[in-house]
Structure formats: structure tokens, C-alpha cells
């Protein structure tokens, strides 16, 4: 994986803090994480310090290696990111407990979150190499990445000689522009109205194939099923 991330000012500090906090929570050193990902320790350090914004490929690799939901990277929960393992194990841990739950004072229940995600309220993350993600879920879903993606002219998820792969299955449909998608040895150019689906464990790459921004709705299901698909 190439160390070709893009520098940002201010926009990356919270993301880097969340990634560093989860890495330290798992007692994984910077050098160990860099070894697992095949990037330099300096790159990991710069991302965590908010000096550079990771590319799509690098962010997916880091979150997969740490077992983090992308959904939580957008969130504002004071507890920080949640590991996928912790989310999956919460129910089982509760069932296994032999101690009766303490009776808590009654309190008004908080109203349920709205199922509607308003366009103006979407949380956005601008990644390296000109790619922007807008979160389309109104509440956290650690098992699904549901995004509106925008690829600026000349942008790409990963270089042509370093395709990405991870657990899960991807579904996408193009709204505007032309989006190139390489899956294995095949490359497709999608126009508005076209859609595609493929196994994320197959090496793949997304890139702008036109002269205007390419906008698509993208869904990844089951990315947390396997920490990494090496």
C-alpha cells in the first residue's frame, strides 16, 4: 500500500484522536499496526496527530485491523469509537451474567431516534485523494456502511497498482458523473443509473472516470465479519 495520503488542516484531528484511542485501548503499538497494514509508522503517527487525512484504502485498512465500525468514526458519542467485537459480544455478555440487574430509579425514556436522515444534517468526512463520504444512517449500524460518496475529478480510492480488499459485500449505484470500478481483472465504467455489486474480498478500486465529480450511493454489508481479508 502506498503512503500517498493528502494533508488537511484541522479536519482530521478528531478522526485521528478516535483512531489513536482505539489503538491504545487494544494495546497495539504504532509500529505493530504499521507492520500489519504495510505502511510506515510515520504515516500512522501523522494520521493520528491529524496532520494527514488517510485515503479510502488506508482508512478501511486501519478500521478493519482495529475492528472499528466506520459509522462510529462519524459519531459524536463521548465514549469514542466502539469495537465491532464489543458490539457483537454485548448481548452474550448480558445473557451470561448470573448477577441480577440493579434496580434503577425510574426516569423518562428518551424519544427514539428518527429514522430519517436529513440531507443538511449528514455528517461528512473528506478523505485523501479527493474522496468525500456522507453518512446516510440516522443511527449507528456497525454491520453496514451506508454512504453517499463523491469522487472529485482525478480522485481514486487507491492507486491502480494497489487494489484494496476487505471483508463484506458491496452495492453501489451512480447518481452523477462517471465512476470507474475495477473488480479483480475487470474494469467497468458506470454512468448515472448504473449499479454494481461484488464481494469486497476481491481486489477492487474506485475512481472518477470522467471530467466532473462522480457521485454514488455505496453500501458495504458485513465488513466487520473478518478483521482483515488478507
Report the chain's mean pLDDT, rounded to a whole number: 79
pTM above 0.85, yes or no: no
CA proximity to 1, closest of 174, 180, 205: 205
- The pLDDT of residue 224: 67
**Third-level CATH fold of 6-85:** 434 Repressor (Amino-terminal Domain) (1.10.260)
Spell out the domain ranges in the chain.
6-85, 119-225
DSSP 151: E
Cβ(8)–Cβ(52) below 8 Å: yes
Q: What is the pLDDT of residues 26-46, one digit of tens each?
A: 999 999 999 998 899 999 999
Q: What is the pLDDT of residues 221-230, one digit of tens each?
A: 988 654 444 4
- The pLDDT of residue 141: 77
C-alpha cell at 187: 474494469
Q: What is the pLDDT of residues 77-136, one digit of tens each?
A: 433 444 333 333 333 333 333 333 334 344 444 455 788 888 888 888 888 889 999 989
Options 2.60.120.10, 3.40.50.620, 3.60.20.30, 3.90.1150.50; CATH for 119-225 is: 2.60.120.10
The CA distance from 95 to 41, in Å, is: 40
Looking at the chain, the whole-number percentage of residues with pLDDT higher than 70 is 73
- The pLDDT of residue 143: 83
All residues at 6 or more sequence positions from 206 whose CB lies less than 8 Å from its CB, including other chains: 56, 149, 151, 156, 157, 179, 180, 181, 182
Amino acid at each position: 500500500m502506498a503512503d500517498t495520503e493528502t494533508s488537511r488542516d484541522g479536519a482530521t484531528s478528531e478522526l485521528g484522536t478516535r483512531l489513536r484511542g482505539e489503538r491504545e485501548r487494544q494495546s497495539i503499538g504504532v509500529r505493530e499496526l504499521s507492520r500489519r497494514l504495510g505502511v510506515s509508522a510515520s504515516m500512522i503517527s501523522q494520521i493520528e496527530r491529524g496532520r494527514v487525512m488517510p485515503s479510502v484504502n488506508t482508512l478501511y485498512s486501519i478500521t478493519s485491523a482495529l475492528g472499528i465500525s466506520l459509522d462510529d468514526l462519524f459519531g459524536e458519542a463521548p465514549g469514542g469509537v466502539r469495537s465491532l467485537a464489543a458490539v457483537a459480544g454485548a448481548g452474550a455478555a448480558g445473557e451470561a451474567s448470573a448477577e441480577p440487574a440493579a434496580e434503577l430509579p425510574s426516569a423518562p425514556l428518551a424519544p427514539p431516534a428518527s429514522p430519517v436522515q436529513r440531507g443538511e444534517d449528514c455528517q461528512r468526512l473528506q478523505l485523501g485523494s479527493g474522496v468525500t463520504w456522507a453518512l446516510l444512517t440516522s443511527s449507528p449500524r456497525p454491520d453496514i456502511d451506508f454512504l453517499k460518496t463523491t469522487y472529485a475529478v482525478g480522485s481514486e480510492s487507491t492507486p491502480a497498482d494497489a487494489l484494496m480488499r476487505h471483508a463484506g459485500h458491496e452495492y453501489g449505484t451512480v447518481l452523477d458523473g462517471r465512476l470507474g470500478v475495477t473488480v479483480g481483472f475487470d474494469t467497468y465504467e458506470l454512468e448515472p443509473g448504473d449499479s454494481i455489486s461484488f464481494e469486497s474480498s476481491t481486489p477492487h478500486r474506485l475512481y472518477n472516470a470522467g471530467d466532473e465529480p462522480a457521485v454514488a450511493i455505496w453500501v458495504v454489508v458485513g465488513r466487520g465479519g473478518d478483521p482483515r481479508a488478507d
